Amino acid sequence: MRNVVEKVIFASCLIGMASCASAGKTYTWQDIKQEVGPTVPKPAKDSYLKVYTKEEEVNDGGYLWVRGLPYNILSADGKMVESVRNDNTPNTFTLSPGKYVIVPLDRQYKNEIIGAVLEPGKLTEVHIMGG
């Protein structure tokens, strides 16, 4: 019984000493053992590509309308991703992050082959305008 009482007194003294020792200390950011904060959102899986092209007027038997230039979007290894005949400009695509090649199909713009790097959750804009 005496042994149990001694252990209880000893434990009480340790707790008392610990609380006294920490009462006068000033803690700083360097003292932390664990950092917490808002939950980090999961990274976006998709990227966005917006392609603007020069617009041209088309006279279709007396009906005048405007269209953008046709183009292809290829993956970095040359596989077809999108083929755009382009009645509207700009066009926006949701694609996987990575590198893409935009190839105008109009001979006038054959030298405007553009490489686009798409990053997760971000919009990349491409302009095929000639000049």
* pTM as predicted: 0.62
User: Given this model, what pLDDT does residue 96 score?
Assistant: 94
- Peptide linkage before 90 cis (omega within 30 of 0): yes
Q: Tell me phi and psi for residue 100, to 5 degrees.
A: -135, 155
User: Given this model, what pLDDT does residue 10 score?
Assistant: 52
Residue (of 58, 63, 48, 60) closest to 124 by Cα position: 48
pLDDT of 11 higher than 90: no
- Taking only the tens place, the pLDDT of each residue in 94-126 is 999 999 999 888 887 777 888 999 999 999 998
User: Given this model, what pLDDT does residue 100 score?
Assistant: 94
**What residue type is 12 in one-letter code?**
S
What does the angle CA 124 – CA 80 – CA 98 come to, to the nearest 5 degrees? 35
* DSSP assigned state of 106: S
CA distance linking residue 66 with residue 118, whole number of Å: 29
Strands 71-75 and 123-128: unpaired
Adjacent-strand bridge partners of 47: 95
Question: When comparing pLDDT for 86 and 39, which is higher?
Answer: 86
Q: Is 130 helix (H, G, I), strand (E, B) or coil?
A: coil
In angstroms, the Cα distances linking 37 to 26, 40, 41 are 22, 8, 12
- Taking only the tens place, the pLDDT of each residue in 16-73 is 555 555 557 767 666 666 656 666 666 678 999 999 888 888 888 888 888 888 899 9
CB of 100 closer than 8 Å to CB of 115? yes
